[in-house]
Amino acid sequence: MYSRIVVGIDGSELANKALRHALKLAKESEARVFVVTATEPSLIIAPGAEMMAVNTGEIIAELEAAKTKSAAATLDEAEELAKTTGQTIEKIHVPSSLAADAIISTAQAQGASLIVMGSHGRRGLGRLLLGSQASEVLARSDIPVLVVK
């Protein structure tokens, strides 16, 4: 039924629950699983910044490095979860992107037959997969979406 499943994750327990469900579906249908996580673009907002000179390039580079490290850890956790079921996944990090955009573009690029994601996730730096992102994927995707609660 499904040959290529894209799973959006953010490291939250609900995202892991969605991944476990996707892995079960993949095992039953012998589908490939692509696990994607996204990190938002780094922005620096400093009131009164017009009065001072700051090298924001270095700060943003450090933020991006920290988010990349966090995304890698999230994807590594997903890989370990898949290994416990005897399955493999393909890990994808989409930097500087909203979760919905990353999930939809990954699903299209991979020729996915199903998108699986949690209904909401953990908030904070480098963690995306919020209820609004799930709603956005549901509204914009022309690929079937399974939302796990």
Cβ(9)–Cβ(129) under 8 Å? yes
Residue 81 lies in a domain: yes
Q: Which of 66, 59, 67 is nearest to 127 (CA)?
A: 67
Report pLDDT for 120. 72
Residue positions counted in the chain: 149
Report pLDDT for 119. 86
Cβ(105)–Cβ(94) under 8 Å? yes
- Dist CA 85 CA 117 (whole Å): 19
Q: Helix, strand or coil for residue 140?
A: helix
Beta bridge partners of 148: 118
pLDDT exceeds cutoff 70 at 49:
no
Report pLDDT for 125. 40
Q: Residue 26: in which H helix or E strand, if any?
A: helix 13-29
Residue 90 lies in a domain: yes
Q: Helix, strand or coil for residue 1?
A: coil
Residue 32 lies in a domain: yes
Radius of gyration (Cα) for the chain, nearest Å? 16
Residue 110 lies in a domain: yes
Q: What is the pLDDT of residues 105-138, one digit of tens each?
A: 999 999 999 999 998 755 544 344 446 888 899 9
Q: Determine what percent of the chain is predicted with pLDDT higher than 90.
A: 73
pTM of the model: 0.87
Q: What CATH number does the domain containing 72 carry?
A: 3.40.50.620
Count the alpha carbons within 13 Å of 144 in the hemisphere toward its beta carbon.
Answer: 8
Residue 79 lies in a domain: yes
Residue type, 107: A
Residue 112 lies in a domain: yes
How many structural domains are present in the chain? 1
